[in-house]
């Protein structure tokens, strides 16, 4: 399907209109934000079938794999944000030193201003709309720029937005690099970007010019460790294979490679084969025409993944086939070394490399030596192993005993660290992204007698009095 690009003039005038609306404080009343959030929930609920069909035509994903990570979190997230607005926006009264009690010290949350959200193709709704929920809740007018590689989804959002949302404050802009570059030349009060590290760096460089705060939700190689002596290997294999086959591995949270104690590699490989047979009992396995396997986005990525498989020096012990329709069979590769082609970059495809390690410490050292991942997955029942990972590794999220589970939990932040990006979202964390916490202080005239020491001419007595905070007793360790 052909995506209608927004003209440069139109995106510039949208930006100008949003700024005007913000200056007119249109998004300030909570009743306005609540109505818009509920409208957003309605947009997704009332057009569920059309949105799922557009998504399917872009990416060929089964409806279960659309509703679970996309429609559910969006509708429930928008409603929960609408219900939480009062609480999130409540001014905070910090506990201050007693002598400042009369100063009415308050922390207000104020919207940052007009913001931009740029999304990837692989989750064409959730990666743009969950941040948008935060922007609406915060009171920020927003332009959303979906990816051109999910054109039907992007076009439908452009059609539905004006029917449900106030277009003087919320807009969809569609386009490719030229349109995104034009957007980045404009001034925004926050940019929320989800995508690759390569483009993330371009966005960061553009944001610097206007000193624009930025959230970067990037891809990464998310490792898995199977603590084979302390876990149910078959359950681990089933959950990893399920996470990996989601969208054919084209997911930022996809379990990328699996570190497994050397002595257990064969048992783990067997467990994967067993899970595969249960998932795809069809005559031709996962590539059977009746299976629900997702396809790879385009020929470029299809070729890239097949080339990785061609270059690997590991053993392809299961799978490795493709059907000529951009579908690649979930493929298990054993005895993968750290310098293998499969360990070069985020796989973003349905390959499961098994990397043999000596033990848990070896696994941790391998993870520590590589870029900080978005997620680390650990399969273990051992408290000792859990603690070792918690204390000795860094990642956006640490998930025990499952894969791919976080987007539905609105109460926890989701976001990368280090090489996998910075900033976070979901629920109140999305709201926090788009607000400024503004301190408010009122020093009453009646306080004047207590301020006398600060005025010239300075005196020794005044110096001693005002030095008191620097001279407080420091507690013993």
Residue 118 CB, nearest approach to ligand NAD (Å): 5
The answer to the question of residue 127 lying near ligand NAD (CB under 6 A) is yes
The answer to the question of residue 194 lying near ligand NAD (CB under 6 A) is yes
Residue 116 CB, nearest approach to ligand NAD (Å): 11
Residue from 251, 252, 329, 346 carrying the catalytic annotation: 252
Interface pick for ligand NAD out of 14, 138, 142, 218 (rule CB under 6 A): 218
Residue 32 CB, nearest approach to ligand NAD (Å): 28
CA atoms within 13 A on the CB side of 217: 26
Residue 414 phi, psi dihedral angles, 5° rounding: -120, 125
Residue pair 332/269 in contact by the 8 Å Cβ criterion: yes
The answer to the question of residue 3 lying near ligand NAD (CB under 6 A) is no
Q: Which of residues 390-419 bind ligand NAD (CB under 6 A)?
A: 416
Residue 6 phi, psi dihedral angles, 5° rounding: -75, 140
Residue pair 355/312 in contact by the 8 Å Cβ criterion: no
Residue 287 CB, nearest approach to ligand NAD (Å): 24
Residue 447 CB, nearest approach to ligand NAD (Å): 49
Identify the CA nearest to 94 among candidates 470, 439, 451, 472.
439
Interface pick for ligand NAD out of 121, 125, 225, 434 (rule CB under 6 A): 121
Instruction: Give the nearest residue (CB) to ligand NAD.
Output: 219
Listed ranges 189-197, 257-265, 276-284, 442-450: which one lies at the site for ligand NAD (CB under 6 A)? 189-197
DSSP 239-302: HHHHHHHGGGG-STT-EEEEEEEGGGHHHHHHHHHHHHHHH--STTGGGSTTS-PPPPSSHHHH
From residue 141, alpha-carbon distances to 21, 323, 362 in Å are 8, 45, 48
Of 96 and 178, CB closest to ligand NAD: 178
Paired sense of beta strands 331-334 and 351-357, if any: parallel
Of 269 and 375, CB closest to ligand NAD: 375
Identify the CA nearest to 416 among candidates 271, 218, 129.
218
Is 252 catalytic? The answer is yes
Helix orientation angle between 233-245 and 265-279, rounded to the nearest 10 degrees: 60
User: 3-state DSSP call for residue 445?
Assistant: helix
Residue pair 234/274 in contact by the 8 Å Cβ criterion: yes
From residue 282, alpha-carbon distances to 243, 276, 295, 352, 379 in Å are 20, 11, 17, 21, 29
Of 222 and 331, CB closest to ligand NAD: 222
Is 217 catalytic? The answer is yes
Q: Which of residues 421-460 bind ligand NAD (CB under 6 A)?
A: 421
Q: Which of residues 238-297 bind ligand NAD (CB under 6 A)?
A: 252
Interface pick for ligand NAD out of 43, 54, 109, 123 (rule CB under 6 A): 123
Residue from 70, 189, 217, 346 carrying the catalytic annotation: 217
Of 147 and 317, CB closest to ligand NAD: 147
Residue 294 CB, nearest approach to ligand NAD (Å): 14
Residue 187 CB, nearest approach to ligand NAD (Å): 16
Paired sense of beta strands 315-318 and 331-334, if any: antiparallel
Q: Could you list the active site residues? A: 217, 252
Q: Which residues bind ligand NAD (CB under 6 A)?
A: 118-123, 127, 145, 147-149, 176-177, 180-181, 194-196, 199, 202, 217-219, 252, 346, 374, 416, 421
């Amino acid at each position: 399907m052909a995506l209608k690009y927004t003209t440069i003039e139109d995106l510039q005038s949208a930006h100008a209109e949003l700024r005007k609306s913000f200056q007119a404080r249109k998004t300030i009343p909570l009743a306005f934000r609540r109505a818009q959030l509920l409208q957003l929930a309605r947009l997704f609920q009332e057009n569920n079938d059309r949105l799922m069909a557009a998504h399917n035509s872009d990416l060929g994903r089964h409806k279960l794999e659309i509703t679970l990570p996309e429609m559910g979190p969006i509708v429930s997230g928008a409603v929960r944000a609408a219900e939480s607005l009062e609480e999130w926006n409540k001014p905070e009264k910090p506990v201050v030193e007693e002598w400042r009690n009369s100063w009415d010290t308050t922390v207000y949350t104020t919207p940052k201003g007009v913001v931009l959200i740029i999304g990837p193709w692989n989750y064409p709704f959730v990666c743009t709309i969950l941040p948008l929920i935060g922007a609406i809740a915060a009171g920020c007018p927003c332009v959303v720029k979906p990816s051109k590689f999910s054109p039907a989804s992007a076009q439908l959002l452009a059609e539905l937005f004006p029917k449900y949302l106030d277009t003087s404050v919320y807009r969809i802009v569609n386009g490719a690099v030229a349109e995104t570059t034009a957007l980045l030349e404009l001034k925004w009060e926050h940019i929320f970007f989800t995508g690759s590290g390569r483009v993330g760096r371009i966005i960061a460089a553009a944001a610097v010019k206007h000193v624009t705060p930025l959230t970067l939700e990037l891809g990464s190689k998310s490792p898995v460790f199977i603590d084979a002596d302390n876990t149910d290997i078959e359950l681990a294999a089933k959950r990893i294979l399920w996470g990996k086959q989601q969208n054919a591995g084209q997911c930022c949270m996809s379990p990328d490679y699996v570190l497994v104690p050397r002595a257990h590699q064969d048992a783990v490989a067997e467990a994967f084969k067993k899970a595969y047979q249960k998932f795809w009992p069809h005559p031709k396995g996962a590539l059977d025409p009746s299976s629900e396997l997702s396809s790879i986005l385009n020929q470029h990525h299809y070729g890239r993944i097949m080339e990785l498989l061609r270059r690997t020096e590991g053993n392809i012990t299961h799978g490795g086939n493709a059907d000529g329709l951009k579908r690649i069979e979930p493929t298990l590769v054993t005895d993968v070394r750290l310098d293998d082609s499969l360990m070069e970059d985020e796989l973003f495809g349905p390959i499961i490399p098994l990397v043999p390690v000596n033990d848990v410490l070896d696994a941790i050292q391998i993870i520590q030596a590589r870029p900080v991942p978005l997620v680390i997955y650990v399969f273990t029942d051992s408290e000792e192993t859990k603690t070792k990972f918690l204390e000795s590794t860094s990642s956006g999220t640490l998930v025990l005993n499952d894969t791919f589970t976080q987007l539905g939990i609105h109460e926890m932040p989701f976001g990368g660290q280090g090489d996998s990006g910075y900033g976070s979202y979901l629920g109140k964390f999305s709201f926090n992204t788009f607000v400024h916490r503004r301190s408010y202080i009122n020093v009453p005239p009646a306080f004047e007698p207590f301020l006398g020491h600060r005025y010239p001419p300075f005196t020794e007595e005044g110096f001693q009095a005002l030095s008191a905070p620097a001279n407080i007793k420091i507690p013993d360790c």
